[in-house]
Amino acid sequence: MENGIPALLIATILMLSTVLMARGGFLGADGINQSLNQSEVRHGAQNRTTLTITNTAIDPTGANITVTVRNDGATPITAFAQVDVMLQYFDAVSTRYDVWVPYTSGALAANTWTTGTFTNDAFQPGILNTGESVQILVRVNPVAGRTTTNLFIIGTERGVTAQANFAGPP
């Protein structure tokens, strides 16, 4: 009997520690499973997102660039504040500028971009759905130089990018 109580205590401690370790393993496996599910959803949305640049134009001053982007994927673009616009361009003396241009929902100022006219925007106005196009209006300072070849890059919040070259002003 004198060995029974300590043996019972040791058995209880062993069972309790086994249950706690198993619970920790199950919680860890559940956390990994949830993370994989979220990753799968994110990658699925990314795979269903396709942007195509259909037109680029620049005004004679070299400050205002207009790029038309069409959504050829199945995922709509809803949060334009989370869309990145980057430019690589040259000024009149061939100085190269690599700039990230922030979005503005207000008036277009120097080194900002905003959305312009939506085309075929019958469903959910202001959201770039499948088959719809939007004009991206960018204003840069210093201005792009004449006879230069420049690069426009757009990236969605899901990491999908599209890019196109555009010439300097005429």
Domain boundaries, the chain: 1-47, 51-167
Lowest model confidence (mean pLDDT) among 10-14, 56-60, 145-149: 10-14
Q: What is the DSSP string of the chain?
A: -TTHHHHHHHHHHHHHHHHHHHHHHHHHHHHHHHHHHHHHHHHHHHHT--EEEEEEEE-TTSSEEEEEEEE-SSS-B--GGG-EEEEEEE-TT--EEEEEE-B-SSS--TTEEEEEEEES--SSTTSB-TT-EEEEEEE-SSPPPTT-EEEEEEE-TTS-EEEEEEE---
pLDDT band at 89 (very low <50, low <70, confident <90, very high): very high
Distance of CA 79 to the CA centre of its chain: 9
pLDDT (0 to 100) of residue 44: 62
Across 59-80, average pLDDT: 94
pLDDT (0 to 100) of residue 47: 61
Residue 46 has pLDDT above 60, yes or no: no
Q: How far apart are CA 81 and CA 157, in angstroms?
A: 9
| pTM for the model | 0.74
Residue 43 has pLDDT above 70, yes or no: no
Lowest model confidence (mean pLDDT) among 11-20, 54-63, 76-85, 126-135: 11-20
pLDDT (0 to 100) of residue 62: 95
Residue 74 has pLDDT above 90, yes or no: no
pLDDT (0 to 100) of residue 45: 58
Lowest model confidence (mean pLDDT) among 22-31, 110-119, 142-151: 22-31
Q: Is the dihedral of CA 95, 116, 107, 162 positive or negative?
A: negative
Highest mean pLDDT among 5-9, 46-50, 126-130, 152-156: 152-156
Contacts of residue 117, defined as CB under 8 A and 6 or more positions apart, other chains included, come to 134, 135
Q: Give the architecture-level CATH label for domain 51-167.
A: Sandwich (2.60)
pLDDT (0 to 100) of residue 170: 85
